[in-house]
Structure 1
Amino acid sequence: MNYQQTLDYLYERLPMFTRVGASAFRKDLHNTIALCEQLGNPQRLFKTVHVAGTNGKGSTSHMLAAVFQQAGYKTGLYTSPHLKDFRERIRINGEMIDQEFVVEFVQQVQPSIEQLDPSFFELTVAMAFQYFALEQVDIAIIEVGLGGRLDSTNIITPELSVITNISYDHMNMLGNTLPEIASEKAGIIKPQVPVVVAQTQTEVEQVFIDKAKAMEAPITFADQHWLVQDNDLANGHLHIQLRPLHSEQVWDLKPDLNGQYQVKNIMGVLSAVKVLQQSGWELPDESVKTALSHVKKLTGLRGRWDIVAQHPLTIFDVGHNEAGIGEIVGQLEHMTYRHLHIVTGFVKDKEVSKVLKLFPAAATYYFTRAQIPRALDENELAEMGAAAGLRGKSYPNVQQAFQAAKQHAHEEDVILVCGSFFIVGEAM
C-alpha cells in the first residue's frame, strides 16, 4: 500500500470516533496495552507530559511543546483530531510524521489490527509512541483524546500531568455532572506525579484535591499562583502581563495564540514550567517567553482564534461545545466591526440547542455540515438556529457556506468560522 491507500485502509477498517461518535469509544485500555506490548512498550522509552481537559488542552499541549523545543529539547507532540492532514497528529519539533513511517507501521501491525480490532485512535496512539521511541525524543507532550481515565494515552507515566478545565462535553460517555466529568479527567493523575490544574472551578476543585491526595501527587491550581496585571486585546492580538504571587517579577507576554481564553491556558503552562524546572528540566524564562510568542511557527498549531485574512477580518476557531462557544462569543464582545457573519456546523452528539442560545442574534448565519457521518444536517441546524432567534440560510457543504459569507461581507465586517474541527478543516 502507498500512503493514501494506507490512510484509506485505516479510515475504512477502524472505527473512528470523530466520524462515527460513541460507537468507536473503547471503555478499557486492553487494546492499547496489547498493541504496545507487541511493539515492546515504546511508551516507556521516553519522557512525557500528559494533558487533559475539556477545552484548551490542544493549545496547552502546543505551548508546552514550543517551550521544550525553544529550550533545545527534541520534542514529540501527539494531538487529535487533525484539521487537514492525518500527520498533524504526530510531530517532532513541529515536523509531521513521515508518510513512509505511517505506511511501514500499518504494514507491521496489520496482523494485530485483524486480531485485536482496535479503534482508529488506539492505533494512532501506538503509532505515535513507536515513532517517538524510534526517533529518541527527549520528551513528548501527549494530549488526551477523550476523558482521561479510559483514554488510550493513559498508559504512560508522565513527568507531569496537566488538566486545563472542566465543562459539559461528551456526557454520553463521561457523565452528566461536572464532578463526574472531572473524575474521568482526574484519571490521568498518577502516583507521586505532580499535577497542575489550570483553572480553579468550585464544583470540581475537591475532585482533583481528593484524587491527588489518594495518589500522593503534589497538586497546583495555576490561577491561584498568578495575578493578571494587564490583559489587552488590541486589533485581535493578545498582550498580557502576569505576576506570580509573592514576587515582583512581571511576565510581559505577547503570545501568538490570540483569544482572551488563552490567558487561563497560559497560566497553566507557566505553572507547569515552574514544576518542570524544579524537577530538573532546563527551561530558561527567556526561552519560555520566546516560545509563547512563536507557538504556531514552532508547532504548526492552527484553528485557535486563527486570523486568516483581513478586510473582512476572517477568524477560524475550533470551539465546539458550550464553554468553547461561550469563550468565542465573549471574545467577539471586545471587538468593533460593521457586521458579523458566522459560518457554523456541529456534530449530532453535542447539546447544540444550548450552544446556539449563546450566539449573538444580530449576526448573519451560514448553517452547514462537515462531510462526515456524524455531522448534524444543515437544514435541521438552521431550524434549531431559527428557534434560538438566529437568522441565516443553510448550505450543503462548508465551502459553499464560506464562499457565501465572503460574498456578502463588507471589508469592515468579521467572518467567523466555528462549530467543530471538521468545519474549520474544510474551510481551510
Structure 2
Amino acid sequence: MDYTASLSFLYSRLPMFSKLGADAYKKDLHNILALEEKLGNNYRKFKSIHVAGTNGKGSTSHMLAAVLQEAGYKTGLLTSPHLHDFRERIRINGQMIPESFVAAFTTNSIPLIDAIEPSFFELTVSMAFAWFAQENIEVAVIETGLGGRLDSTNIVTPEISIITNIGLDHQNILGPDLATIAGEKAGIIKQGVPVVIGEANAETLPVFEAVAKSKQAPMSVASEAQQLIQWGKNGNRLDATVRDTDRTDGHQYQLDLTGEYQTRNLLTVLQAIRILQRAGWNINEKAIQSGLSQTRKLTGLHGRWEQISESPRVILDVGHNADGIRAIVRQLGLETFAHLHIVIGMVKDKDISAALELLPKTATYYFTAANIPRALPADELALKAGSYGLSGRSWPDVNQALNAAKAKAGKNDLVLVCGSVFIVGEVTW
C-alpha cells in the first residue's frame, strides 16, 4: 500500500476514538503489549518523558520537546489527535514521520492487525515507537491519549512523569469526579520515578500524594516549586519572569504561545527541566529560552490561542471542556475588540452544558459541526445553547460558519473558533 491507501486502511479498519468515542477505548494494555512483543519491544530502546492531564498536556509536551531539541538531544514527540495531517502525531526534532514509513509499517502490520485487532491509537503508538527506535532517538516526549493507567502509552518507564491538571472530561470512561479521574491519571506514576504535578486542588492532591508515596516516587507540585513573578502579552508573544521558589533570582522567558493559560504550563515545564538537570541532563538556560521562544516553529504546535488572520482577527483554540472554555473566557477578558463572534462545534458525548454556561452571552454565535460521527449536529447545539442565552445561526460545516463570521465582523472585531479539536482541525487557512 502507498501512503494514501495506508491511511484509508487505518481509518476504516481500526476503531478510532474520534469516530466511535468510548467504544474505541481498550480498557487494558494487552493489545499494545502484544504488538510491542511482536515488533521487538521498541518502547524499551529510548528514554522517555510521560505527560498526562486533562488540559495542557499537548502544549506542555511540545514545549518540553522544543527545549530538549534545542539542548542537543535527538527528541521524539508523540501527541494526539492531529489537526490536519496524521503525521503531526509523530515527530523527531520537529520533522513528521515520513509517508514511506507509515505506508511500510501499516502494510507489514496487517497480519498483526488481523491477529490482535488493535485500536487506531494502539497501532499509532506502536508505529511511533518503531520509528523512534529505528532513528535512534535519545528521548521521546510521550503524551497520553486518554486517562493514564490504561492508556496505551503507559507501558513506558520514563525519566519523569508529568500530570498537568485534572478536570471533568471523559467522565463516561475515567470516572464521575475529580478524585476518580486523578486516580486514573496517576496511573502513569512509576516506581521511583519523579513526578511533577502541574496543578492540584483539595480533591486531587491527596490522590497524587498517596500514589506517589506507594510508588516511592518523588513528587513536586509545579505551582509550589516555581513562582510566576510577572507576565504580559507582547504582540504575538508572551513574556514571563519565573523563579524557583528556593532561589532569589528569576529568569525571563519569551513564549511564542500567547494564551494566558500557557503561564501554568510554563511552570510545569520548568519544574520538569529542573528535575532533569539535577539528574544530569545537559539543558542550559540558553536552550530553555530558545526552545520556549519558538515552540511552534520547532514542533509544529497549532490551535492554542493561535491568530491566523487580521482585520478581523481570527483566533483558533482547541479548548473544548469546561476548564478549557474557562481558560478561553479568561483570555477573552484580556483581549481588546469591538464585538466577539464565536464559531463553535462540539461532540455529543461531552457534558456540553458545563461549557455552554461559561460562554459570553454578548457574542454572536455560528454553530456548526465537524465531519465526524461523534459531532453534535449544529441545530441541536444551537437549540441547547439557546437555553443558556447564546444566540446565533447554525451552519453545515466549519468553513462556511467561519466565512460567515468573517463577513459579518468589523475590522476591530474578534472571531474565535473553538469547542472541539476537530472543529479547529477542519479550518482552512
Q: TM-score range by the shorter chain?
A: over 0.9
Q: For residues 34 and 246 of structure 1, what CA distance do their matches in structure 2 show?
A: 46
Deviations 1:319-378 (A, max 9, x none): 010000100011001111100000000011111122111100010000000000000000
Q: Which residue identity lines up with residue 329 of structure 1 in the other structure?
A: V
Provide the secondary structure at the position in 2 that maps to 1:427. Answer: coil
Deviations 1:88-133 (A, max 9, x none): 0000000000000001101111101011111000000000000000
Say whether the 8 Å CA contact 2:236–2:256 is kept in structure 1: no
Deviations 1:70-105 (A, max 9, x none): 011110000000000000000000000000000110
Q: For residues 207 and 354 of structure 2, what CA distance do their matches in structure 1 show?
A: 26
Deviations 1:384-413 (A, max 9, x none): 111110110000110110110110111100
Structure 1 residues 369-380: aligned runs within 5 Å: 369-380=369-380
Q: For residues 234 and 333 of structure 2, what CA distance do their matches in structure 1 show?
A: 13
Q: Cα offset for 1:316? A: 0.4
Say whether the 8 Å CA contact 2:226–2:270 is kept in structure 1: no
Q: For residues 254 and 315 of structure 1, what CA distance do their matches in structure 2 show?
A: 20
Q: For residues 351 and 270 of structure 1, what CA distance do their matches in structure 2 show?
A: 33
Q: Cα offset for 1:208? A: 0.5
Residue of structure 1 in register with 2:68 after alignment: 68
Q: 1:68 to 1:236 in 2, by over 3 A?
A: closer
Residue of structure 2 in register with 1:38 after alignment: 38
Q: For residues 299 and 204 of structure 1, what CA distance do their matches in structure 2 show?
A: 31
Structure 1 residues 280-359: aligned runs within 5 Å: 280-359=280-359
Q: For residues 367 and 78 of structure 1, what CA distance do their matches in structure 2 show?
A: 32
Residue of structure 2 in register with 1:382 after alignment: 382
Structure 1 residues 219-298: aligned runs within 5 Å: 219-235=219-235, 237-298=237-298
Q: For residues 222 and 93 of structure 1, what CA distance do their matches in structure 2 show?
A: 26
Say whether the 8 Å CA contact 2:228–2:267 is kept in structure 1: no
Q: For residues 12 and 285 of structure 2, what CA distance do their matches in structure 1 show?
A: 46
Deviations 1:270-323 (A, max 9, x none): 000000011111000111011101000110100001111121111100001000
Provide the secondary structure at the position in 2 that maps to 1:158. Answer: coil
Residue of structure 2 in register with 1:49 after alignment: 49
Q: For residues 388 and 189 of structure 1, what CA distance do their matches in structure 2 show?
A: 40
- Does 2:93 align with 1:93? yes
Say whether the 8 Å CA contact 2:59–2:265 is kept in structure 1: yes
Deviations 1:112-169 (A, max 9, x none): 1011111000000000000000000010000000000000000000000000000000
Q: Cα offset for 1:246? A: 2.5
Q: Which residue identity lines up with residue 223 of structure 1 in the other structure?
A: S
Q: How many residues align?
A: 428
Q: 1:382 to 1:173 in 2, by over 3 A?
A: same
Q: Cα offset for 1:234? A: 4.3
Residue of structure 2 in register with 1:214 after alignment: 214
Structure 1 residues 5-16: aligned runs within 5 Å: 5-16=5-16
Q: For residues 328 and 172 of structure 1, what CA distance do their matches in structure 2 show?
A: 24
Say whether the 8 Å CA contact 2:160–2:194 is kept in structure 1: yes
Say whether the 8 Å CA contact 1:345–1:423 is kept in structure 2: yes
Say whether the 8 Å CA contact 1:236–1:259 is kept in structure 2: no
Q: Which residue identity lines up with residue 263 of structure 2 in the other structure?
A: V
Provide the secondary structure at the position in 1 that maps to 2:341. Answer: strand
- Does 2:145 align with 1:145? yes
Say whether the 8 Å CA contact 1:318–1:424 is kept in structure 2: yes
Say whether the 8 Å CA contact 2:43–2:156 is kept in structure 1: yes
Q: For residues 168 and 200 of structure 1, what CA distance do their matches in structure 2 show?
A: 13
Q: For residues 96 and 242 of structure 1, what CA distance do their matches in structure 2 show?
A: 32
Gapped runs of 5+ residues in structure 1? none
Deviations 1:172-230 (A, max 9, x none): 00000100000000000000000001113221001001100000000010110122211
Residue of structure 2 in register with 1:124 after alignment: 124
Say whether the 8 Å CA contact 2:166–2:200 is kept in structure 1: no
- Does 2:371 align with 1:366? no
Q: Cα offset for 1:237? A: 3.5
- Does 2:136 align with 1:136? yes
Q: For residues 242 and 374 of structure 1, what CA distance do their matches in structure 2 show?
A: 41
Q: For residues 228 and 135 of structure 1, what CA distance do their matches in structure 2 show?
A: 38
Q: Which residue identity lines up with residue 244 of structure 2 in the other structure?
A: P
Q: Cα offset for 1:233? A: 2.5
Q: Which residue identity lines up with residue 391 of structure 1 in the other structure?
A: S
Residue of structure 2 in register with 1:185 after alignment: 185
Q: For residues 391 and 239 of structure 1, what CA distance do their matches in structure 2 show?
A: 36
Q: Which residue identity lines up with residue 166 of structure 1 in the other structure?
A: I
Gapped runs of 5+ residues in structure 2? none
Say whether the 8 Å CA contact 2:227–2:267 is kept in structure 1: no
Provide the secondary structure at the position in 1 that maps to 2:43. Answer: helix
Residue of structure 2 in register with 1:18 after alignment: 18
Say whether the 8 Å CA contact 1:79–1:90 is kept in structure 2: yes
Say whether the 8 Å CA contact 1:200–1:224 is kept in structure 2: no
Q: TM-score, structure 1 length as denominator? A: 0.99
Q: For residues 296 and 42 of structure 1, what CA distance do their matches in structure 2 show?
A: 28
Name whichever of 306-315 and 29-38 sits farther off. Answer: 306-315
